[in-house]
Structure 1
Amino acid sequence: MEEPSPNLIRLFTPLSPTTRQTTRALQEMTGRRTSALFNLREMGNNLIDQTNNQQPLTNGRQLLTATTVNTPQQLLRDTGRDTPVLRDNNVSGAGSFLSTHTPSPDEAVIQARGKRQIPLTYSPDITPLRQQMQRNKLAQVQQCQNNRLSLPNIRISPRKRLNLTDTPPSPQMYVIPPEIAGISPLAKKLRLEEERGVDPTIAVRGLAHSQLVNLITDIIKMNPKIRDDVVNMLPEPDLISMEEALNSSKKNIFKSLPNTRLESKTDSMAYNRVATHLSAFRKVVSEGVKRLQSGEQWNALLDYTIIAWGYVQATPVWDNPAHNSTRKTCFKNLACAALTALKTGKFTVQQLKQVRAKFDKLAPKTSELDVCIKHMDDLIENNTEE
């Protein structure tokens, strides 16, 4: 496997600013050393040329000695110079002496670094530009904290700066005028309501069922004379709203059943999906029965029994007999309520015959319903005999 080139390594692993600065300093030192070496070689060649001009060589042996064996010390001695030679141990060859002192690599690196500065946030790759930006942000934050009112790039005199500081509002703003000081806003509201008056026909709409019952009871107790008038004015119970509650509960049951042809709508899986809505349907039926029984509305109770019987009959019949307990319970509650109404209420023969005809059309026939039909037959026979 071939080793990656240095350029690729440098591309994916960038150097830190300190390393880049050190590398740049070393490159400068290498360039200086190379230029000094070329200068020394030129100086040596010039000295050799001067020596050859002063003492011409006569044979090839002297020429070979002068060109190959002479050292820098001999050249200086031949030219008559007594100046000291500064030798650099790192430079070898004929140009190994310098006219000036060259610093060592470590010293050059230290000089290139300069004075060490502590960064605001430690990061090996932080740049000087980023350091300067962070210093500017820190200075702006400190300036905002020190000055309550900062106006950038605007020179303000000390007197104007003192006038621009925040001052609390004057206490006169919170003083209540004397003409409205003794009037309370709550008292003013109550006084307006007293002037307008309360319309009882409107206020009754916001009361609950129990509050309405208590209200009528208190009125009859306070005025017993109006009892007969109230009895004559009482309307029949509204069975339409009760029928709407039964219809919505039955719709929820059928919405929960599976819609695909591959699934059965009467097995245990379907029952588990509908069990919650079945219990809600049973609760609606029982609440309607209790409401009419507590009000002793016997005629309305018989009508409600006939209406609710049809909705209970429309509920699904499950494959497992144990799951049909809700259906049987609803039938039983309705038949018992009808029997109670027949025993307690006072019906004419014509009313009993109408109810008897409606009960004959109800299905399925249960034992409780057969008892109701038999009791109605007895009532009709007794009334006709009399």
Structure 2
Amino acid sequence: MANPGVLRTRPILAEIPARMGQPPPQQRVATPVMTNGRIALDPRLIDNSAANIPDSYLSPRMSPEEAVIQQRGRRRVPIIWSPEKFFHLSPNKTPTKSLTAMTLRSSPRKRCLMQELSDASSSTLENSLGSPTKRNPPARYSAGTVKKMRLEEGSINRNKYDIPLDTLLKGLSQDQLISMITGMVRGNPRLEEAVRSELPIPDIAQLEEQLNYQKKNIFKTLPATRLVSKTDSPAYARAATHLASFKKMLIDHSQTLHNSKHWDALLDYVMMAWNYTRATPVWDNSAHNAVRRHCFKILVYHASSALKYGQAELGQERLNKFQQQIKTMANDCEDVKDCSTIINCLLD
């Protein structure tokens, strides 16, 4: 133990030297004191902090690796966050695939396509250079030229008299029949007069079948259950497409008869088509009945045209039949009453 009579003095802590290996100033080496067979430490050794810390902790030596790191400095972060690019050219280049190797590894279909492309490019290059060895390919015929060539070609059945003539005429289109007949009667008034005397009234039975087909399609789209209305807006939305088809077909039929000036057939068609138009559904919303009203007005227009141009040649029987139907037609469209005045003038 330390002597209680001796005063302890705590010296100021010594500063750590800046240079390596230099001892701190006013540093004393403490020596142990022998007391009663024991070695007691000098109080100065306990109180002096510099004496208790080894020299290696006070001024450690720098390792060679740390010296290299300090010389190198801090690593600079690139401004643009992108992979580093080397602007020098590499002596090693990636070899390009040859066309032959790629063609051999491809499928047969691809090889044929590559061969066609190479042939086309070579021919285009030769044509652009004006090679005298090869001639330019002939220009392609247009659709009109091909059609004209086919019409000018004769049929193989011209000399086959075992085949009936009506059988051969069934395979011709309407334009072919018209061109053939007009070519035969041109310059032959007697033949033209004979053909005119044999002209029949156009058959509207086929036109009626087409209208009936469109009417069936309209009713097929309507709901079959009794719990749902068949004339409301959802039902009209389902049948709107077929109503438009019905209207288009009626316009085409009547316009064809009007352009061909078959006034008798046109009046018969109006009486027939009026019944099919009346059979179409009457919708709850009046705006949805616009197609129905338009069809009636088209038929009234063509009926008045047939009466105006056909006049008394239509026949008294046909005029009386139409006049009887005008009373019921007026319930669908009041404009048909104008046709009644024309008929009265013709019959008087």
User: Normalising by the residue count of structure 2, what TM-score does the alignment of the two structures yield?
Assistant: 0.51
Letter of the aligned partner of 1:375 in structure 2? I
Q: Does 1:315 align with 2:280?
A: yes
Aligned residues of 1:313 and 1:364 also touching (Cα < 8 A):
no
* Residue-by-residue CA offset, 1:270-313 (whole Å, 9 max, x unaligned): 11100110011111111110121122111111111111001100
Q: Equivalents in 2 of 1:194, 1:203: separation in Å?
A: 9
Q: 1:271 to 1:216 in 2, by over 3 A?
A: same
SS at match of 2:311: coil
> Higher helix fraction: Structure 1 or Structure 2?
1
Q: Does 1:256 align with 2:256?
A: no
* Residue-by-residue CA offset, 1:55-84 (whole Å, 9 max, x unaligned): xxxxxxxxxxxxxxxxxxxxxxxxxxxxxx
* Residue-by-residue CA offset, 1:184-203 (whole Å, 9 max, x unaligned): xxxxxx9x967646764332
Letter of the aligned partner of 1:272 in structure 2? A
Q: Equivalents in 2 of 1:221, 1:193: separation in Å?
A: 24
Q: 1:234 to 1:323 in 2, by over 3 A?
A: same
Q: Equivalents in 2 of 1:294, 1:354: separation in Å?
A: 24
SS at match of 2:224: coil
Match of 1:366 among 321, 333, 339: 333
Q: 1:283 to 1:374 in 2, by over 3 A?
A: same
Q: 1:271 to 1:215 in 2, by over 3 A?
A: same
Q: Equivalents in 2 of 1:267, 1:365: separation in Å?
A: 20
Match of 1:270 among 235, 238, 246: 235
* Residue-by-residue CA offset, 1:14-70 (whole Å, 9 max, x unaligned): xxxxxxxxxxxxxxxxxxxxxxxxxxxxxxxxxxxxxxxxxxxxxxxxxxxxxxxxx
SS at match of 1:257: coil
Match of 1:232 among 164, 183, 197: 197
Q: 1:224 to 1:264 in 2, by over 3 A?
A: same
Coordinate RMSD, CA, aligned? 2.2
Give the C-alpha shift of residue 379 in structure 1: 2.3
Q: 1:374 to 1:285 in 2, by over 3 A?
A: same
- Tell me which residue corresponds to 2:32: none
Q: Equivalents in 2 of 1:196, 1:237: separation in Å?
A: 30
Q: 1:252 to 1:195 in 2, by over 3 A?
A: closer
Q: Equivalents in 1 of 2:246, 2:269: separation in Å?
A: 15
- Tell me which residue corresponds to 1:300: 265
Q: Equivalents in 2 of 1:219, 1:336: separation in Å?
A: 36
Letter of the aligned partner of 1:346 in structure 2? Q
* Higher RCO structure, 1 or 2 (CA under 8 Å, sep 6+): 1
* Pairs within 5 Å for 1:206-225: 206-225=171-190
Aligned residues of 1:306 and 1:359 also touching (Cα < 8 A):
no
Q: 1:209 to 1:196 in 2, by over 3 A?
A: closer
Q: Equivalents in 1 of 2:243, 2:267: separation in Å?
A: 23
Q: Does 1:332 align with 2:297?
A: yes
- Tell me which residue corresponds to 2:61: none
* Residue-by-residue CA offset, 1:298-356 (whole Å, 9 max, x unaligned): 11111111110011001011111111111011100000000000000132445433321
Match of 2:252 among 287, 300, 304: 287
Aligned residues of 1:256 and 1:273 also touching (Cα < 8 A):
yes
- Tell me which residue corresponds to 1:379: 346
Q: Equivalents in 2 of 1:368, 1:380: separation in Å?
A: 20
* Pairs within 5 Å for 1:31-110: none
Letter of the aligned partner of 1:377 in structure 2? N
SS at match of 1:327: helix
User: Normalising by the residue count of structure 1, what TM-score does the alignment of the two structures yield?
Assistant: 0.46
- Tell me which residue corresponds to 2:324: 357
SS at match of 1:346: helix
Aligned residues of 2:218 and 2:243 also touching (Cα < 8 A):
yes
Q: Which runs of 5+ in 1 are unaligned?
A: 1-189, 382-386
Q: Equivalents in 1 of 2:191, 2:234: separation in Å?
A: 59
Q: Equivalents in 1 of 2:206, 2:316: separation in Å?
A: 29
SS at match of 1:317: coil
Percent sequence identity over matched residues?
A: 40
SS at match of 1:296: coil
Give the C-alpha shift of residue 222 in structure 1: 4.0
Q: Equivalents in 2 of 1:326, 1:297: separation in Å?
A: 26
Q: 1:193 to 1:371 in 2, by over 3 A?
A: closer
Q: Which runs of 5+ in 2 are unaligned?
A: 1-153
